[in-house]
Amino acid sequence: MDKEPIDHDALVDKTNALLEETERLGDTWHSGKDSTESVRQLRILASGYIASLEKAVTSLGECMNQVLDENERLNYVNQEIARAADLMEKLAEGLVKK
């Protein structure tokens, strides 16, 4: 159950950077629709916007996977704590009976 610790701050920073890039490209796309004369330029903007959205979705998926992994680890630790508490209770009962 030894997994590399999750760097939550780095993951949040990466996700926020991707979302900001997606928003910037979206703004460029929306502002460029009216003023862009070249269909080729519009296609390039759309392609960048779509790629940025895909990266954001991938990053959010990675985030969810890490949250699930962390939840699994915490569940395992909680089970270990519960077993230790049960053992301590049995030991205490044995001491009281003596």
Please provide the DSSP assignment of 62-77 as one string.
Answer: HHHHHHHHHHHHHHHH
Average pLDDT over every residue of 13-21 = 84
pLDDT at 87 over 70: yes
Confidence band (pLDDT; 50, 70, 90) for 88?
very high
Query: How far is the C-alpha of 2 from the C-alpha of 70, rounded, in Å?
Result: 12
Query: Domain locations in the chain?
Result: 8-97
3-state secondary structure of 40: helix
Q: Whole-angstrom Cα distance, residue 52 to residue 46?
A: 10
Are 75 and 9 within 8 A, CB to CB? no
Question: pTM here?
Answer: 0.49
